[in-house]
Structure 1
Amino acid sequence: MIKAAIIGGSGYTGGELIRILSNHSEVEIEFVFSTTRAGKKLATAHPDLLGLTEMEFTGTVNPNVDVVFLCLGHGNSSKFLDENTFSSTTKIIDLSNDFRLKKDAVFQGKEFVYGLPETNKVQIENANYIANPGCFATAIQLALLPLAKAGQLDKDVHINAVTGSTGAGVSPSATSHFSWRNNNVSWYKPFTHQHLGEINESLKSFQANSGELFFLPNRGNFTRGILATAYTKFDGSIEQAVKLFKDFYADAIFTHIAEDPINLKQIVNTNQCHIHLHKHDGVLLITSAIDNLLKGASGQAVQNMNLMFGFNENAGLMLKAGVF
């Protein structure tokens, strides 16, 4: 058994980590840190834990844990590490965007590895520090990386992706509260979303001359999940495209190519990414779907932890969607 700590445990990603790790056969949660809820039971922030644990949030840090998950707002992970020291053997998995880009990957002598298991599995297995990918970034990279590796991503790509309200975090805002979000859809940050940086770095590591990405993110009137559609010119047949994707993900236990069109319900509450391909008049349409809180955040963080500690990659993550 390894001992795990969750920093920022009162939010959505922290709650999902508590749920997963509580049922992980190789992990014991040592403490859950929160500056706003110290001394209160975990169930006060996460009612789904009522009756499952009597653990309380803490406002102090035990540095002698095996792994730390940082579930803090963007820009706050680096501040937390400046103010708190962990054992030299403690592995760190950061769920913010503080260390995802190459220019930010080294911090206090710690070298953070980009934690996308489908492409960086060997590096993750040998890493002590992981920068967990963003949710949109995960869905879009998994939709496009096979094309980049094959040198088939030289044309511009148009991407439209819609995310659930949990992608905005637990604190209410003008565009996340029920009255505004219900029966409503809107776009935000058109062509400038912060995840484009990490997406482009990953794609260009396979194909330096990859085309420009035109990304339009949307807010959906549902709780969780991301459905992303990307289309670009493709000279090959649909059969060639399917083979290209299946070959690329042959060893990926959580990413699968679907024969039929996909929808959000089949992946919500799982660590899966489902991908569907469709071709029309020389244009290849790639649809990908993930749960933004699991494969797009906490589930992928646990997947990375499993690889770092030599556990089965799917340990604690055999979760079934509720499709009805």
Structure 2
Amino acid sequence: MQKINIGIIGAAGYTGGELLRIVINHPHLKVAFAHSKSQVGKPVYSTHTDLLGDTDLLFSGEDIQTLLNQKDLHAIFLCSGHGESKKFLGEYNLPDSLKIIDLSTDFRDETNGFTYGLPELQKEEIRKATKIANPGCFATSIELAILPLASAGLLKEDVHVSAVTGSTGAGQALSATTHFSWRNNNLSIYKAFTHQHLTEIKMSLKKLQVDFDKAVHFIPYRGDFTRGIMANVYTPFSGTLEDANELYKNYYSSHPFTHVSDAPIDLKQVVNTNKCLIHLEVHDGQLLISSIIDNLTKGASGQAVQNLNLAFGLPEDAGLRLKAPSF
């Protein structure tokens, strides 16, 4: 089978590095270029040191339009900062045949012909899409915790979410709250009730339960670890734990990366993988849903490759059977 050639814009950041790690080891993909404004001409492994020995690829500094016009280029990933993707599409002419997967927030509202790329929500739409907006990391974890309830029309009251993310969720640029001496042995709340991912979460829920008009109360935390998200969600539920488990296991039965665990879950089970694990409990008429993902894989680059697999008719799990460190 001829390999699918992909390009990465913004390849020096965390999501770019994760994409390179996955694509280099993907049986059906090949990196045509890894573009970076800041690391032109340097070996990819000089920035992504975990790739030393895996590739001799250099960061490309060539004219982007020239790179996009390569006849054998099939898809690009946009890994630049939020707002940059809209600028990119306005500045460059992209061939109609080129598939685009955007990892920023710019098109998650499905504007400009983009399809929201959460496979557990709309897999068939992704298969037909040429432009895909990758979901946010918090949004992925929270949506996967709630979608089965929405699909059954069971979201009757407000939804409450408390979720913590690792420092890589803030990106590679240095800031006061990513500095080791501040983050280590520390915990803090940010953007309580106003986080930008709330917009896409509500949009996704209404795709399944059109009459959903309740609030999603979301309190995000910064954790003192590097990778992973744990979201704990609760909302009223009139059924039993057995009812909830049956609902969730049936909903995710055809999705290879989301699994319902009967035992309690912990972050190390998903770090470095494209999995989402879910655990359910019922307490006094409240359903507690715990959802865990790796923010850089299922929450970003792994899901982007999952979407590409679907868009090109490849096995959905190709190149994504990644093992967690576990210990």
Is residue 30 from structure 1 mapped to residue 32 from structure 2 by the alignment? yes
| Code of the aligned partner of 2:154 | Q
Unpaired segments ≥5 residues, structure 1: none
**TM superposition shift of 1:208:** 2.7
**TM superposition shift of 1:85:** 2.1
Q: Quick check: 2:121–2:204 contact (8 Å CA) kept in 1?
A: no
User: Of 81, 85, 97, which aligns to 2:105?
Assistant: 97
Give the alignment's TM-score, normalised by structure 2: 0.96
What does 1:254-293 correspond to in 2, within 5 Å? 254-293=257-296
Is residue 220 from structure 1 mapped to residue 223 from structure 2 by the alignment? yes
**TM superposition shift of 1:145:** 0.7
User: Of 146, 151, 158, which aligns to 2:153?
Assistant: 151
Is residue 245 from structure 1 mapped to residue 228 from structure 2 by the alignment? no
Give the alignment's TM-score, normalised by structure 1: 0.97
**TM superposition shift of 1:38:** 0.8
Q: 1:50-91 CA deviation, whole Å, 9 max, x = no partner?
A: 122111111222113100000011100111121222222110
Is residue 164 from structure 1 mapped to residue 172 from structure 2 by the alignment? no
- Per the alignment, residue 76 of structure 2 pairs with 68
What secondary structure is seen at the aligned counterpart in 1 of 2:153? Answer: coil
- Per the alignment, residue 17 of structure 1 pairs with 19
Measured in 2, the distance between the counterparts of 1:208 and 1:158 equals 19
| Code of the aligned partner of 2:218 | F
Identity %: 57
Measured in 2, the distance between the counterparts of 1:182 and 1:272 equals 26
**TM superposition shift of 1:251:** 0.2
| Code of the aligned partner of 1:279 | V
**TM superposition shift of 1:2:** 1.0
Unpaired segments ≥5 residues, structure 2: none
- Per the alignment, residue 312 of structure 1 pairs with 315
User: Of 118, 129, 132, which aligns to 2:131?
Assistant: 129
Measured in 1, the distance between the counterparts of 2:37 and 2:92 equals 13
Q: Quick check: 1:154–1:209 contact (8 Å CA) kept in 2?
A: no
RMSD between aligned alpha carbons? 0.8
Q: How many residues were matched structurally?
A: 318
Say which is worse superposed, 44-53 or 216-225, in terms of deviation: 44-53
**TM superposition shift of 1:16:** 0.3
What secondary structure is seen at the aligned counterpart in 2 of 1:297? Answer: helix
Which portions of structure 1, spanning 4 or more consecutive aligned residues, are displaced by more than 6 angstroms?
none
**TM superposition shift of 1:312:** 0.8
Measured in 1, the distance between the counterparts of 2:5 and 2:151 equals 38
